[in-house]
Structures are given as structure tokens and as C-alpha cells.
Amino acid sequence: MSFVLEDGTGSGSKLKIGTDNRLQARVVRETEIVHATESGNSYNWNTGLISITGDATLIYLKNNSDNQLVITDIAIAAFDGITHSDFPYITLVRNPTGGDLISDATAISMNQNRNFGSTNSAVVNVYKGKVGGTITGGNDIAILQTGKTGRSLFSIDFILTKGTSLGVKLTANRSSGSANYYIALIGYFKDTEDV
């Protein structure tokens, strides 16, 4: 006895079974973020350069979309110019509620879709911090040590559901000098069927 398996959506598609009694399929494997980029649902949020002369707030992002937002990576770079008493580090704050990082609402420099052909835009609030800036409420969720100069990249895979947010602040451990920094959050929105 043989069975024909058909697509349950009514498209008439059928599965092929080979002579070895195995299903035949062509599979394309790609990461979820590549799939989201192809769909126009992945983004790069970058502060642009911030002149650092001491501890600072860096970036705030709140997801206002119904879809889950996966923050896959954080990139931070420090240029030459600061003498440090110790290595600088960033603190990631889960669901901050106040401070001038949020109330000043300073636009970031780069808020871009990673698919150059897509016109989609992210449904988020995203703001740039400043030296001496404040961030209050929420809970510290991670501390990441950065280099004194150069670029550091951290994979984090945090999920922000609708209404949740992420803030980042810098402990510069500066003893003298100043330098430009930038920070970028890289992420994508999950397909609704994946949620």
C-alpha cells in the first residue's frame, strides 16, 4: 500500500519518495539572521562617535514591535587618546526606566536596515548617550570588558519582547585624556510564525 502526502494548505504540492523509501527534499540551510536580513527584518543601530572624557551612557533601545527582537551582537570601539587606570567595561541594563539616556531622546547616527534593498524600518525607540549621562531602574544583566583601544565584538543573543528595553553604560576607568567611542547593536525581528 502506498500513500501520497500532499500539502495541507491546498497548493497541490506533493512529496517525492525515492526507490530507497526515503523522502526526497532539497534543503537550503541558512542562519536565522540571514533569513531575517533577506526579509528586510535585521538592523544595525550605531551611535556614531561619542567623545569620551569619563564614564558615560552609550545607547538605549526599546522594542515597540509585536515581534520578538533578537539582539545578536554588540560592537564597541575605542579610539586612541585616553590613559586608563584599568580596562574599561560596559554594563548592560535590562529594562531601564529612567535617566537622561531616555529623557533626552538624542537620535543615534545610524539606524539602518541591513538589507540594502529593503524599505522596512524598525519599530523601536533608540537613543544615543553622553558623558556623565544617567540611566536608572532596571537590572544589570551583563558586564563586558572592552579593549583600551580598538574594536570589541560580543555575541549576546538577548530577546526583547514588545515593551522591553536594553541600555548600555560605560565605565571608562579614565585617568587622563579623551577619545571617541561608538557602540552598535545588531539584531533582527523574528518571523511571527517563529515566535
Torsion region of 134: left, alpha or beta (phi above 0 gives left; psi -120 to 50 gives alpha): beta
Higher pLDDT, 29 or 172: 172
Q: Count other Cβ atoms within 10 Å, centred on residue 177.
A: 12
Res. 138: pLDDT tops 70 = yes
The residue-averaged pLDDT of 9-18 equals 75
Q: Do 186 and 71 meet the contact criterion of CB atoms below 8 Å apart? A: yes
SS (H, E, C) 24-38: ECCCCCCCHHHHHHH
Q: Is 155 helix (H, G, I), strand (E, B) or coil?
A: strand
pLDDT given for residue 158 in this prediction: 98
Higher pLDDT, 76 or 27: 76
pLDDT given for residue 195 in this prediction: 45
Residue-wise pLDDT for 80-96, tens only, equals 999 999 999 999 999 99
- What span, in angstroms and rounded, lies between the C-alpha atoms of 160 and 122? 13
Detail the DSSP E strand segments found in 135-178.
139-145, 150-160, 165-171, 174-177
- What span, in angstroms and rounded, lies between the C-alpha atoms of 58 and 55? 10
Question: How much of the chain, in percent, has pLDDT values that exceed 90?
Answer: 81
Question: How much of the chain, in percent, has pLDDT values that exceed 70?
Answer: 93
pTM: 0.86
Q: Using only C-alpha atoms, what is the Rg of the chain?
A: 22
Domain residue limits, the chain: 43-194
Q: What are residue 182's DSSP bridge partners?
A: 77
Res. 22: pLDDT tops 90 = no
pLDDT given for residue 19 in this prediction: 83
Report residue 170 as a C-alpha cell.
560605560
| Predicted confidence band of residue 148 (pLDDT cuts 50, 70, 90) | very high
88, 92, 110, 51 alpha-carbon torsion, rounded to 10°: -30
